[in-house]
Amino acid sequence: MKLYAVIMAGGIGSRFWPRSKEKTPKQLLKIIGENTMIQDTVKRLGGIVENEDVYIITNKVQKNEIIKQLPQIPVENVIVEPFGRNTAACIGFASVMIEQKAKDGITMILPADHIITDVEEFHSTIKRAAKFAYESKGLVTIGIKPSRPETGYGYIQIDENVHKDDIFKVLSFAEKPNYSTAVRFLESGDFFWNSGMFIWRVDAIIEEIKLLMPELYEGLEKIKGDINSTKFESTLTKVYGLLKNISIDYGIMEKSKKVHLIKGEFSWSDVGSWEEVYQLTPKNDDGNAIVGNAFTQMTADSYVYSPDKFAAVIGVENLIVINTKDALLVCRRDQAQEVKKIVDYLKINKMNEHL
């Protein structure tokens, strides 16, 4: 059983504006700790996946910085999508590339920007899921037990009575809920956060794509046919431009009858907003998390980031203050998910210098 890793690293992390931008997105930044998020993601794989079996899927803009940050990964394993077409196309493309090496290889699909602190338990979870996926040809996702009624995550419902080796049959997927629904999910005990991490055999996911997304399968077959030819780049660009923009959750996981969930018993965060960064950052006696050079007075429970210039914050609480060289963000912590709307505004108004 051969284990491969596919790290998806093409997003721009719009909820982390003004630090996260197209050329320097969230996964290429030091958000928590001394390493960038993608460096920590690769480091976490040490001991279960060889460097030559780690693949990074990204875009042209981010490719060079990824190669610079990850010198241990072969350059040819940094795969560039010509266009962003969401996770179904991304995962399908990576799968046909890995299929050239091992049709029955086990692939784990990982976002580049998660924080996982208990690496030993993470490895144990991956190994158990990989064994199950190899033997059953099932599609396995990692679910995280909710610790709060979170509205920023999708949820997965399982049948606690149908399982093998503590890997459970999935009943349904639920989109990001409102608060009252999230409370109900938490109380039910059979809903788990959708971590966006998957483990499956290469041939199993390709079979499900063929069954449930035949148009994507046809496109992948065309790409696969020219992988080793001089026409590869032109074929890839032509085919990719016609692929549907759809997630693997919508396209495959919500429809497949082969989906299972393994419970992730490790500490996990997808660091989806500045609020989560505040929660994960050490705080002073006033509940303030301060990064950089800042003065605070009569200020409580706030996150202040100002490494490049002095910032003063007085008489406020529950705020996010992100002060960079060329932009300033001030928002309430409970509105941190709205930051992505700033990026939409900048795009509409062609204020590209801030993107």
User: Is 354 or 306 the better-scoring residue by pLDDT?
Assistant: 306
Consecutive H or E run containing 39: helix 37-43
pLDDT at 23: 83
pLDDT over 70 percentage in the chain? 100
Cβ-contact 333, 301 below 8 angstroms: yes
pLDDT over 90 percentage in the chain? 86
Give the three-class secondary structure for 79.
strand
Q: Which long-range contacts (CB under 8 A, 24 or more apart) does 307-316 make?
A: none
- Specify the pTM: 0.93
**What is the mean predicted confidence (pLDDT) over 148-169?**
89
Q: Which of 25, 155, 129, 128 is nearest to 84 (CA)?
A: 25
pLDDT one-digit tens code per residue, 208-246: 999 999 999 999 999 999 998 999 999 999 999 999 999
Q: Is the pLDDT of residue 1 over 90?
A: no
**What is the mean predicted confidence (pLDDT) over 328-332?**
97
What Å distances lie between residue 292 and 58, 71, 79, 171, CA to CA? 30, 29, 35, 46
Length of the chain: 355
Residue 330 CB coordination number (10 Å): 11
Q: Is the pLDDT of residue 298 over 90?
A: yes
- What are the residues whose beta carbons fall under 8 Å from the beta carbon of 123, sequence distance 6 or more? 47, 48
pLDDT one-digit tens code per residue, 166-197: 999 999 999 999 999 999 999 999 999 999 99
All structural domains of the chain: 3-269 (3.90.550.10), 274-354 (no CATH)
Radius of gyration of the chain (CA): 21
